[in-house]
Structure 1
Amino acid sequence: MALRNNRLTNEEYDEHFSDIHPPFETHNAALVEANRCLFCYDAPCTKSCPTSINVPKFIKQITTENLKGAAYTIFSANIMGGGCSKVCPVEKLCEGACVYNLMEEAPIPIAKLQRYATERAIHEKWPLFTRQASNGKKVAVIGAGPAGLSCAHALSREGVEVTIYEKEGKGGGLMTYGIAAYKVTPQFCQEEVDYITSLGGIHVLYNMQLGKDVLLETLQQEYDAVYLAFGVGMARQLAISGEQLNGVVDAIRFIYEIRTKGYPEVPVGESVAVIGLGMTAIDAATQAMRLGAKEVTLVYRRTEAEMPCTAAELNIAKLDGCNIIWLAAPKEIVGENGHVKTLVCEVMRLDERKLPVGTGELISLNVDMVIKATGQLPYTMAAPKIDNEHGRVLINEHAATNLPGVFAGGDCVNGGKEVVDAVQAGKEGAKAILKYLFREVE
């Protein structure tokens, strides 16, 4: 067993990484589903959306052939509504709240309808928003991910000049670099970033990292306000013997390389163990299978009832042929000639508080690759004067940090949630910054 790349043909890669949730093939197919909507009063689907998209309204607009109106309704609430339609865990949000679930019928395919409206708007570059005249205010945004882009767009619409400092070579953040390629393509991510910035008044400076290429103190002097949206960093360490062996990789780095290098260039083992069962773990496991691994096993220290991923995500892994071992925690990684050979796990049990407790019983997996997906750590604070809790930026109810004129939101504050949560944080940050800039009193 050994890690190697280029395991499959180009045709196999294309097949394995094709769109897992294909769009409607025809306009009539979209209309059929849209016309099923009951257009509920005080709609539970809207209430369950972190960005409060008016779902019945945009679906009604689709039924009346007003696709531009539908796209505007979506983007007004969530400027990344296109990407969110592909990656949101809708089964626990809008579609999970659909009243059809109570009738034991299939819920309205809200995400698919949202994609139907937004994809066309993005591809055809519909100019749905008009930017107000420049008001002379300047804001720096750190990070061109969902929170940063959302904040920048909301500010620019009000006439604020925004400069985004992004440490990577492309924008989109997690959407571009941290999500399975079969959910959203890099090409679409670029189109979405271009669409958002096409409003005007948003300038993105790439390969600019806070604390290295630009200092917070400098930004505070040059701009009227600063919004921190730099996300979170790499996966947590397992803190076990053998973690430094060749073949032990970080899930975020593994997915990052798939997104940046291309499928044939990323090495994968024949027998792979993935530690964790969150969304990132599922993405890593399924993509390892799709890169040509013969066997992939997800190892999780709790039971299915406690898993952080959704049932729909778990089903993707099962359909791809991934195995799952419940109630097991990594104990040691054994190597041979510097390479991973065996993953030793301890069998766990849950105590009365549902916390995993070791039983002393050990099991061994013969693997040549271990992917760590046990949650992400905050970045080391590039601006140590900012109050933080174990690396997470602390903010008040107005998204403000302890430094005057410095605001924050998204994963760098909450430690890592859904893309849609980051978009909402960006909206809230923009609202707070506008009040600060113009000294509005509540």
Structure 2
Amino acid sequence: MATEILVPTLGESVSSATVARWLKKAGEAVKADEPLVELETDKVTVEVNAPSAGVLEGIAVQEGAEVEPGAVLGHIAAGAGAAAAQAAASSPAPAAPAPGPAPIVAAPAPGNAAVPSPGNTTVPSPGNAAAKAPGTGGGSQADSTHAPLPAAAKLMAEANVTAAQVGPGSAKDGRIAKGDVLDFLSRPAAAPAAAATPKAARGLEAGEERVKMTRLRVTIARRLKEAQNTAAMLTTFNEVDMGAVMGLRAEYKDHFEKKHGVKLGFMSFFVKACVAALQEFPAVNAEIEGDELIYKQFVHMGIAVGGPNGLVVPVLKNAQELGFAEIEKRIADFGKRVRDGQLKLEEMAGGSFTITNGGIYGSLMSTPILNPPQSGILGMHKIQDRPMVVAGKVEVRPMMYLALSYDHRIVDGKEAVSFLVRVKEAIEDPRRLLLAV
């Protein structure tokens, strides 16, 4: 009996994925839990492992197709079925017909996401929806280059827009995905823009190379631009003397690592300082939904981490309950699993505030962009010795610039400046964190 290979749950804010790459071919033997196929979501690449040992009997969904959780990707044959599949794979195969739109086997999508990501939901469409989409011109070769995926074709038909209006898509070979259609429909004055003819790609010069953006990079670009277009974003700056924290860390780092099995870094101090400041100024930890404000009694702290495919933001849930050692352990674990591509999708959802550290790359000052729907993000920067006046004398001190970007629709300037001052005070006198003052 064949075992189905199913698309796993993709996380609370992700409802679809693209089949990026099959790691096995039909007819190949597989082991239980062996990686079979890679799925690319808006956030990370997910490996789907073999549910049992046997032979990959067939592939139901080709690379580039969009799938939902629960969709059948293929089948694994066991016993006699496996032997038959192996024999079939080794015999000459008839010439394959010309490729058409990749089939999609869809299952019901999960419930409402806590942090919606526009353009991720796949709606199954019966038949060859892509060939029936408006503006495809009856399936000519030129039009098939950007032929919509079935879910996109259905939405385009409902919205009465054409493939030419939406333009080249983000799916494989430039095919239009549902997210591309939703992104097009969400643009201001979409109707006038729809009449314009998409600009043709320019020819490349010697030494240039055109590379398709990954789905993660497309989503990062869209969400950052969305934050700029939606929020009344403003940034306030301050500087902090890192001498006290550096001295405390130097004094106790060996004891800390020996007892807790993890190195003592600066990030745990900033997490604790931000938690204290957010509890004093809850608007910086809140979000806007329609004409209402949502205040939170917890702090889900996002920590921006650079990965091989772009920036991701894993979340320290209930950071207000964590001590220094637990914060350092979780951040170290996040960093390792981001580099290995093992971070779980649910670990990147639900953040209420974010800290990003451009200083590890040498940044002296920057203005971080909000991570919607959050209302605040703290930017840390490079520690650099600078002459400072201390008690009437000039001293060389290890200084760091801090930047707080915030949504001025919900956070007033006084609150933002006061928040940043509280963070500065806690870092310059870490005893305040221990005494909660």
TM-score (norm 1): 0.23
Larger RCO (CA under 8 A, 6+ residues apart): 1
TM-score with structure 2 setting the length: 0.23
